[in-house]
Structure formats: C-alpha cells, structure tokens
Amino acid sequence: MNRRISCALAALVLSACVRDEKYDGLAFDVQSSPPVPVSVESDRIELVAGIAVKVAVKPASSGRSYSSSDQVNLRADDSDIFEVYDSEDAREFVLVGLREGESCLEVRINLRMEECIEVRVLPAEE
C-alpha cells in the first residue's frame, strides 16, 4: 500500500515539474518605421529588398505563459533571401530583405524548433 502511495506522489511531483507550455505562435511588434510598407504578422511576413525592419517578439502559449527567461531565437531558412540580426534586447531582432524571393523564418523557443513562418521579399522599388 505504501508503495502505491509513493508511486502516486512521485508521479504527481514529476507532472508538476513538467512545463505545460504549448507554443501557440509569435506576436510581432514593429519597432522601426521602414521607408516603404512592410507586413509583419504572426503567420506571414512581407519585406522589401534592401529594407530593414526592427521587431520585438513575444511567444504565445496555450498553456502556462512563457517567461522572460525563455530563450527565443529567429533564423532565416534561406539567408540569400533575407537575414535576421540580433539586437541588444534578447527579444528584439532586425529583419533585412536581401533579394526578391520566398523563404521562411525559423522560430526556436529554448532551442526547440516550433515553426517556420512564411517570408516573402518583394523587389526594391525604383
């Protein structure tokens, strides 16, 4: 009987230690004013070649909220199309369109790949 109670308590303690976060997307807040219109949404990003835009990001969760200690990394799937640069703030990044094309923005939370957001880079206006 004591063994059953011990096992139940151990399972309860273990389940309390497991984080119940379920990644539910990335919210973007544009921090700069690019000279041409760009679109930065949670499911699709449109940039213009030669234009940089600074964004702040916040991961959303359908479970317990992510904290400021959770690491967010963004990376261009094809760095010939666009590039991502870190900023002084761990949750701010600069997205730069390099040339016309399509790729995706890899989102990693605590080193775990969560999604790849569609990115389209439009040609520079002349």
* Per-residue confidence (pLDDT) for residue 13, from 0 to 100: 44
pLDDT of residue 106: 98
Mean pLDDT in consecutive groups of 10 residues from the start of the chain, 126 residues: 54 47 92 95 97 97 88 98 96 98 97 97 88
* Residue-level pLDDT at 64: 79
Partners of residue 92 on adjacent β-strands: 56
**For domain 20-122, which architecture applies?**
Sandwich (2.60)
Cβ–Cβ under 8 Å, residues 97 and 105: no
Q: What's the confidence (pLDDT) of residue 63?
A: 82
Domain borders along the chain are: 20-122
Place of tokens 């969760």: 61
What is the model's pLDDT at position 20?
61
Provide the pLDDT for residue 16: 42
Which pLDDT value is given to residue 34?
93
